[in-house]
Amino acid sequence: MKLCFLGTGTAGSKLMPEGTVPEGKRRCCSMWIDGDVVVDLSMQSFDFATKLGLDTSRVTDVFLSHTHRDHYCKATLLAYAAAAKTKINFWCHKDSLTRIGLTEEEAAVLNVHPIEVGDEWETAGMRVKALRANHLTPGGGQPLHYIFERNGQKLFYGCDGAWFCADTWEYMRANGDLDAMILEATVGDDAGNFRIGTHNTVPMLRLMLTAIRENGVLKEGGTLIADHIGGAIHSDKMVPLLDELGMIEAYDGLTLEI
């Protein structure tokens, strides 16, 4: 799989459209897989994809983790739909539909697929599993993590959500063998931050990665990526900490293959 990160920041960037993103700041979370799949739809996602010269007409499927404004923008979804050669499949938790706010006319230009925790299906040449994320969106549906499997490779996408919910962890422990994992690192090294119930700190990641490795969730030599990071694109403080954990720090425009 080839990944391109269109945004790797936190909610602090949510009100900055493409033209006003300051140098050194991150856009909100959004990612491409193999040029035809988009995960999360931040305000800046489509504009940045265009700026990078990506072919937005190839997009066939869009996945939403949850409805917070730093992960979902209706205008971005409709921009991808308008550019695509085919009618886009849009996947989101079933209880998110009211907060997504599509009119009948807007919904008609998409194939809207409501999903639930535990669902597993095939689309875009991929096998997809929806897992419960430990995050809160009052009135906006259950936040989701995803496992994407294509051409024998398995990728875990986990932005937002602290630790793992018990059912998610047990599924990964039983069905791991992941080639790569994307884990959020919102809070950085602030071990006492009040957000530990919904976001990861670096000390939390240190504990989680020990269990991930010892329980065979990630293949030996698998790729670990830290995403959804506050602050500057290349933080002098964060990089050494993530290096110690064996993690790549995602940044806007990063492209890598797993």
Within 10 Å of residue 85's Cβ, how many Cβ atoms?
11
Which pLDDT score is estimated for 235? Answer: 65
Give the model's pLDDT for residue 17. 63
Domain ranges for the chain, please list them. 2-257
The per-residue pLDDT for range 188-244, each reduced to its tens digit, is 888 888 889 999 999 999 999 999 999 999 999 999 999 998 765 456 778 888 999
* Residue-level pLDDT at 237: 76
pLDDT in tens, 153-168: 999 999 999 999 999 9
Residues 6+ apart with CB under 8 A from 108: none
Q: In the prediction, which pLDDT does 139 show?
A: 79
Determine the Cα–Cα distance for residues 65 and 215; give it in Å rounded to an integer. Answer: 25
What's the CA gap between 227 and 203, in Å, rounded? 15
Q: Under CATH, what is the fold of the domain 2-257?
A: Metallo-beta-lactamase; Chain A (3.60.15)
